[in-house]
Structures are given as C-alpha cells and as structure tokens.
Structure 1
Amino acid sequence: MTIRLAVVSTAKNTNRILEDMQRQAGDALDVVFHMGDKTAPFKASSLSRMLPTTGTDGHLMEGDSYSGAAEPLVQSDDYFRLRDVFSDHMNRTGASHKYKSHPLKDQQDFHDYYHVVCDRLAAELRTRDVTHVLFFNVPHLSYDTALYHVASALGLPITIVTQSLFAGKFFSMADPADLGALLPNSDVAPYPIEKGSKPDLFYMQGIKQEREEGGKITPKAIMHLMTFLLLKRRWKALNPFYVIRLVCHMKRIYGGLPKWRDPFARFFHEDELTYFDTLTSFEDQTVDLSGDYIYFPLQLQPEMTTSALGGRFRDQAYAIERLAGILPEGVRILVKENPKQGGYMRGPMFFHRLNRIPSVTFLPSWADTHALTGGAKFVAAVTGTAGWEAIRAGTPALVFGKAWYRKLAGVVEWHERLTYQEVIATQVDHPALEQGVGALQAACHDGVVDRHYAKIVTDFDSDANDVACAKTVLGLITGDIHHTFSPES
C-alpha cells in the first residue's frame, strides 16, 4: 500500500530529508499534503499569522467552505481543552509579541478560527486520502497544533520527531504526551556522566551568572524600536516627544540590568516596558541562600517546552502555586526569570500572583543558577533543562510536564497526592542515572532533524545526515523502527 503522507516541514534541512524519503521509498510514498515555507505547496505561517502568503499550490483557505470533516474532533470530549491549547499557541503570533501578527483579539475570535482551520484541514486530509501524518517537531505553532488535533481525531497514524540534547540524536513518538516515557533497560551500556558536569547548552551562550554594571541601549534595540514604530505606531512616530520618551525609558531599563542582558535584542513593544521595569526592581536585592529552599527557574515562553509539553502547567505561576501548597512552614521558593524572556505571559497579574505566595522570593537576573541548584532541597521546573542539570549534580528534580528526562533517577513527576517528604526523600542514584541515560540514548535515533543542533556534532556531514534521517523516519512511519517513547500503561 502506498503511504499518502501529510507533513509539516518548514526548514530547508527537513525538506531535504523529505526529498530523500521520497527517493528511497519510490512509489511506496506519496507526499500529498505539505505545509512548509514558501517553496512548499502551502505556506504554514500564513495560517498562524493569517496572511495571504501562498505556497506553490496557492493558499490553504482558497475556495474555503464548511465541510463538516472535523466533526470527529468537534464532538470529542476533549474538544474544549484542545481549542484552548490552540488559542494559547496562536497567542505567540499576537500583536503584542510579533510584528507580523494576526488580527484576532478576543476569545471568541480564537475559537471561531480554530473551528474554521480544523474543518479546512480535515477536509484536505479526507479529500487527499491521507494515510499517515509526519511532524518534524512537536506541534506548538498553531498550524501544526490544529493538524495534529485533526489527525488524532481521525485516527491517522502519526509520527513526531524532535531533536535531543545529545549530539546527533533525535527522539520519536506518536503523541507529545509520550515524551520521556521510557521503560528501564539494563541490557545496554550506561552512559558515563561526570557528577556535577554541565550539559552543553549552546543556546545559552553569553548568559552570565554574576553581577556586573548596567548596560547601554544597543543598535539592535534601536532597530527594533524603529520597526515597531513603522509597523505599529506610524502616526505616533511623527511625534518627537513620544519617541524621545520611549528611548529614555529604554535607556533606564538597560542601565538597570546587567550589560549581558539585552532586553530588546529580538523585539520591542510598549507592553515590554512594564515587564522590564518590574525586572529591574529586583536587581538590587541580596541573594540569601540560607535555610531550606526550592529553586524554580522559569522557562522561556512562548516555547514548545511549556506550551506543548506543560499541559495545564504551561501557566508557570500555577505550578509555583501548587508547589507552595505542599511545602512546610519556613521552606522558601526562589524563583529566577529566564535570561532570554520578554513580556510574553509576564504581565503585571503574573507577578501579582507570585507576590500573593508568602514563600516566594523573586531573584535578580544575576543570581547564580549553579549555586542555587547546589543548595536547593530540590529543583522544580515544568520541563526545563534545569532539572536535567540538577540530577547531574546530585540534586533531585520535580517536573510538572512531559520532560524528556522525567523517568531518569532522581526525578519526581508531579501528581495530585504528592507530598514534600516524598520529593526530599528522593535520592539521585548516580549509577542508575547513567544506566537510564544509556537506555535513553539506545532508544534514540542517529541524526539531526533540527538544523540548529548540527553545531554540536563533530565533523557534521549534511548530505549523509539527510540520507540516514530519511531512512529512519521512513522506518518510523512504516513501523519497522520503534519509537523512542511509547504510551504509558
């Protein structure tokens, strides 16, 4: 039987892998629906940004009319939860967070759009007689989210591949909820980990763990201010007093944060000013690591690690609230912001919620995360790599979401009956940790499916990688190769 594949592939390297898959499979594989960049049949981001940009086959919404094809999803018991997940993922391209933003404003707008997009996608899957669906990352960008929801409701076999932090290794699964669900395997060699050694987090380069003098406004920040004014405030840009006030406000923020922290390096919006004003108010405090405390480093948002893998705890304030509820009197929660975070999901009410928790102390940006980890009773995170760093250092970790490392020694997964004593009684058995990582590596697949991770692979050969990844992904789709992670019993 010919595999009639629907795929989300938006990067050049995954497009090459897809082409190699077609060459290797011949007539056994027919890519009948592809959302990707402008060279693909349909431009994926035109759905999340609601733009008229077309792919080679036009725009997905051309000739759109109600079909009822998504009715299995609409009638499902999980429909309202999934609709809210889609709305959350659409928010990342809202006007306060992206220059090329969609026009949706209220809850009903998001709900209506979800209904329309799912109906359209379901009609395409049905019309094109799709038999299998492939994602080159965990769905989290709204257009892939809707496709995943529809494909799941229609009962189509799904394959998801996503890169791991291990050089040249990637994960696979059928459901994002399966991430990290790995059975112990004592038949493989343990993976040696020097206790206390730190993983290579190349994407955190330039981030320091020390106090230093304030920074100065950067050319990048001025460029983003100009972009904001041209796209969002054209008439106000003609008012010199308005522009001068913005520049002066930005300068105050830069001066109040360490010079390695560039708050407007990626984006500027007026709403960001309030967020960074709040951050600067924490900079001059003394960091007290005495007594018993839990370290909770916030994760960057919007990101797959929270929006797709955090479940209800994509609301990180809620995770901190639940954590506070199990702590005995006198145990503090030390919260540190992600050094790359902007104002997204960090409005005044977020900080008000944290302020309502007596045990919470919000730390300055320069607080040393390694010292915090070393002195903590345990580290808590939704899915962040801080938990992975913690268990490597011998400190237990509590995770609230589907962290890839959640089944390793020293990790406790949140559940409603969890107690403080249960978490602090957890020990990091280092040999068991090495054995678990060995089993995890053995269940991974060789190759790079996320181009950003090629830099940590020695002597990376792009052509050989594409051919190898294509063979593996084909095997995952046909079932000849087992997924890294499978549903938990």
Structure 2
Amino acid sequence: MNIIINGFHDRLLFPVLHEILNKFPFKNVYLTYTTNRISFSRNVCLNFYKVEDLARADYQVDWNSITPLSKKILDSMSECEVMALRMMDRHTISIEPLLTYNERKRLYLRHLRYWNHIISTGKISLFLSSNIPHEVYDFIIYSLCKIYKIPTLLLYQTCISDTISVMNDWQTQNIKTGQVFLKVQKEFKYKGGTQLELENRFQYDFDKNTLIRPKTRFEMRRKKQRVDIINVLLPLIFKIRPKHWATLLKSPRLIMVGIRNEFRYYSAIQRSKKLAKFYDRHAEIPDLKQKYIYFPLHLQPELSTAPMAGSFVDQLLITQMVGYSLPKNVYIYVKENPFQDFTKRELNFYQDLLDIPQVRFVPMNFDTYELTDHSIALVTATGTAGLEALYRGKPVLLFGSIFYQYAKGVYRISNNDVCKQTLTAILKHKTSPTTQDIKLYLKSLERTTINGYIDLDYKKDTKVSQKVSNSNISKALINEIAKMLRK
C-alpha cells in the first residue's frame, strides 16, 4: 500500500503522522513539507516534495521518463483545469509579475503529467490532506484520485473553535453530518431548545455569536499592511540568502530584474489604491429600513472560493443571479471584505456589480452584524457570515460547499430557477431558522466532527491542549482510514 500525504507541515503535527504510519503498512509515502521533514524508524520509503518547489512545478525529474498525457486524462480533468488556473492567483507574489495564461497552462500541465504518472503507476491506496486542497498541485492530485477512484480523506478547520470537519469530498463535505442532523431532529422533536445541552465548544460559539454585538473573531483581528516603497523593496532584500549575494553581484542583470519586478508590483499597489478609492466613492451609508439581501464579499484569492465556491468562484455571477431573481424594490447590499488585497481585484469587477440595478455598495467599516440583523437574508459562497446569519435567525443562500450546508435555513443555490423560487418563498413566507434549529445542527456537528485544531493559528482560540488535539485527530483518521481500506 502507498499513500500521498499533503499538509501536516508543522512539527507539532508530526505525532499524528507517526500514529498513522505506525498503524498501517504503507510502503511508499509521498509527503509535502515546508521546512521540516518528518523522520520514521520503520522500513518505509519516504518521498519528500518541498512546497516551494511544488509551487513552481519543479519536480527535478527526467521528463522523458514520465508518461505523457492522453486525451482521456486531459478531457476528464477539464473542470479541474479551470479551477487550477484560477487558483494560481494566490501564487502571484511581490517579486513576480502576474502569470500569463500560457505560463499558468504550462505549470498546470507539468503538475498534471507528473502526478498522473505517480498515481497511475504507483499503486496509490489513499490521498490524505490536512486541508481542502487549494494550492494547485494538491487540487490536481485530489482530482486525479477521484478519476482513478482512489479514496481521499480531507480535514477542514471550521470557524467554530476546536472543531475539525472530516470528509472524503469537499463538495459533499461531511455527509454524515447531514444524516445525523435528520436523526437528531427526530430525537429532540418533543424537547424544547433549553433541554438540549451542547459540548462546551459549541455552547461557547453559540453564546458569543448570539450577542447583540459579538466580539470580533480572532482571525479578523489584524491590521492592514501599510504599503510604501520601503515595505515593497525590503522584503526583496531580506529574501536573498547570503550564499546568493555573490551570484547576484556577478550578474547585475538579476538585480535589475528583481528591482523591476518590485517596482511593477509597487505600480500595482498604486493602482489598487485608486481601486479602493473607487469603491469608497460609490459606497453609501445603507438605509436599514429598506428591504435588502446582504452579500458580504469573500476575501480573494482564498480557499473559501477556490475551490469551495465551485462554479461561482467569480462573485459577480452570484450577484447577477440574485439580482435577476429579486423584485426591483429589494436591494442587494454588497460590502467588500475589509482585508481584501485590491491588487487582486479589477475595476471592471466593481463596475459590473454597479450595473446591477439593485446593488448598493456599503462602506467596508460598516457593522456586519447590523447589516445581517436588518436583512431579509444573507448571500454567501461559503463564508463564516453564513453561519453567523443562522445564529441570528436569518436564512442563507449558499452558492458553494461548507460544513454548515446541511443546516436548516440554508438554501443551496445552483441555478436561476432555484434562486428565484427560494427568494420568492423567503419574501412571501418570511421563513427563518430558529434557535432550536441551529442548536440541533450544532448537536449534529458535535457527533460528527473532531475536537481539536489542525490549523495551528486556531491555537489562539482553543480550550484543548496540543496533545489532546493530536490524539483526537489521530484516532479519527485511523478509524476513517481503516474503514476506507477495508472496502
């Protein structure tokens, strides 16, 4: 048996991998890493791939020994290709210009050819990832495994403290949660919401999100980076390793290329400032007495839209469908994410949004909870704002795949007919999820999620020790892997 493992890059998570590799007789293990490599005493062949090299599709192989791509594979991976090319937005960094279509296509085909060779010839039994694949190479591996019918096992750190969702498919998420939710509703059918006791992690999340003005989530407590010429050039200098200075000094051209790219990025920053001003000029204090749907835009590029929004990775498509389905007297209040990098937006994105008659831009610093509380419903691809809306008794139009998608009050939208029917029903019947509904769903999550954190940033808001978290993750993964390998 052979396995591809993506993620678990921090040393603090290595005990999880040790538990898995000790439990199952994998012979060849393909692992990604950032800085530290895991060591293992048992006779296992470890094949390491540095993430930095993977980002460039630098596999250091003789490509003449790698199986060429067939029409069948190229055609069957067409959906993956579209998403992978979009995902490459996140790999445009300050010392590189924007990738052209041909450059993106070249990277995609190199990833595809290499991993198709490994998967088709390497007798892979499982693909395990500590997050939903979204870094291009891992998404291609995942998609190939789906085509070859190789089991996949993914973890996802939810926005609920100490709660990890485990799934086989990012689109269906954890199907078991939806199934358990149906059982839980029957179980508590004749019990009041006050009789339903939740684990501390879920009660904590419920309590803090049902306050009139909840405290800002820890992941949103950050400052926007001040951008000027010093902030742009200094990272370039500090990224250069001492051993490379001699090479650079011998080749002034390389220095000039680096400086040129930095100034190109600085120019993009200047354009982004103009774009931010354009948004601010068209934003207005909202009239909360009007009928409106609230749409807080996603930060992009990010996992929450690529791949989790699927076909709706372009948020303009969501807004157009909602606007097309709404009566003319119901507005769409659109609020840009306060931490959006405007170098990742285009002027025509905002102009196209403003072309929709019902759209009104809201200032980025306007209180999101106040907008939610006075709205008819909230629209999102997969955002945390959707869960917050459920806590506050508001229906959610969901255009992507996320762990709360099976909750009552969530309406999954895929086409114009469904969108129009949903909005008509919400406007006519004023249906809203109740406190009991959200508590029942939290009870379902309690029974189908892992108590811990796989994203170490979430240690800032935890009640669980690293040892207990690792133990819970290991037990859950070993249980899932055992079931998958028995099939």
TM-score by length of 2: 0.79
Unaligned residue ranges in structure 2 (runs of 5+) = 38-47, 189-195, 240-252
Q: Which amino acid aligns with 1:305?
A: S
Distance verdict in 2 for CA 1:123–1:422, change over 3 Å:
same
* Structure 1 residue 19 displacement after superposition: 2.4
Give the corresponding residue for 1:471. Answer: 475
Distance in 2 separating the partners of 1:457 and 1:152: 34
Q: Which amino acid aligns with 2:138?
A: D
Aligned pairs for 1:328-347 within 5 A:
328-347=327-346
Unaligned residue ranges in structure 1 (runs of 5+) = 53-59, 208-214, 250-267, 483-489
Distance verdict in 2 for CA 1:70–1:446, change over 3 Å:
farther
Distance verdict in 2 for CA 1:229–1:102, change over 3 Å:
closer
* Structure 1 residue 10 displacement after superposition: 5.2
Q: Which amino acid aligns with 1:14?
A: L
* Structure 1 residue 471 displacement after superposition: 2.6
- Determine helix, strand or coil for the equivalent of 1:170: strand
Distance in 2 separating the partners of 1:477 and 1:344: 42
* Structure 1 residue 164 displacement after superposition: 1.9
* Structure 1 residue 199 displacement after superposition: 8.0
Give the corresponding residue for 2:276. Answer: 276
Residue 196 of structure 1 pairs with residue 210 of structure 2: yes
* Structure 1 residue 423 displacement after superposition: 3.1
Distance in 2 separating the partners of 1:103 and 1:237: 14
Residue 105 of structure 1 pairs with residue 100 of structure 2: yes
Q: Is the 8 A contact 1:69 1:126 kept in 2?
A: no
Give the corresponding residue for 1:422. Answer: 425
Q: Is the 8 A contact 1:301 1:344 kept in 2?
A: no
Q: Is the 8 A contact 1:136 1:162 kept in 2?
A: yes
Query: Which has the larger share of helix?
Result: 2
Distance in 1 separating the partners of 2:329 and 2:254: 49
Q: Which amino acid aligns with 1:44?
A: V
Q: Is the 8 A contact 1:292 1:330 kept in 2?
A: yes
Residue 42 of structure 1 pairs with residue 45 of structure 2: no
Q: Is the 8 A contact 1:336 1:364 kept in 2?
A: yes
Deviations 1:187-243, CA, capped at 9 Å, x for gaps: 485645458334872101258xxxxxxx9x94x75543224786999769999xx99
- Determine helix, strand or coil for the equivalent of 1:304: coil
* Structure 1 residue 474 displacement after superposition: 1.9
* Structure 1 residue 272 displacement after superposition: 2.5
Distance verdict in 2 for CA 1:87–1:148, change over 3 Å:
same
* Structure 1 residue 127 displacement after superposition: 4.2
Residue 397 of structure 1 pairs with residue 396 of structure 2: yes
Distance in 2 separating the partners of 1:396 and 1:43: 43
Give the corresponding residue for 2:233. Answer: 226
Residue 123 of structure 1 pairs with residue 137 of structure 2: no
Give the corresponding residue for 2:86. Answer: 88
Aligned pairs for 1:327-476 within 5 A:
327-416=326-415, 417-418=417-418, 419=420, 420-424=423-427, 425=429, 426-458=431-463, 460-476=464-480
Distance verdict in 2 for CA 1:432–1:328, change over 3 Å:
same
Distance verdict in 2 for CA 1:391–1:103, change over 3 Å:
closer
Q: How many residues align?
A: 430
- Determine helix, strand or coil for the equivalent of 1:178: coil
Distance verdict in 2 for CA 1:312–1:63, change over 3 Å:
same
Deviations 1:405-432, CA, capped at 9 Å, x for gaps: 1221221111322222123333212212
Distance verdict in 2 for CA 1:288–1:346, change over 3 Å:
same
CA root-mean-square deviation:
3.3
Deviations 1:157-192, CA, capped at 9 Å, x for gaps: 110111122332211111110126422222485645
- Determine helix, strand or coil for the equivalent of 1:166: coil
Aligned pairs for 1:161-176 within 5 A:
161-176=155-170
Residue 138 of structure 1 pairs with residue 132 of structure 2: yes
* Structure 1 residue 288 displacement after superposition: 2.1
* Structure 1 range deviating more: 302-311 or 412-421: 412-421
* Structure 1 residue 349 displacement after superposition: 1.1
Distance in 2 separating the partners of 1:456 and 1:378: 29
Q: Is the 8 A contact 1:138 1:160 kept in 2?
A: yes
* Structure 1 residue 443 displacement after superposition: 0.7
Q: Is the 8 A contact 1:133 1:151 kept in 2?
A: yes
Q: Is the 8 A contact 2:3 2:127 kept in 1?
A: yes
Give the corresponding residue for 1:11. Answer: 9
Give the corresponding residue for 2:245. Answer: none
TM-score by length of 1: 0.79
Distance in 1 separating the partners of 2:257 and 2:119: 46
Distance verdict in 2 for CA 1:298–1:43, change over 3 Å:
same
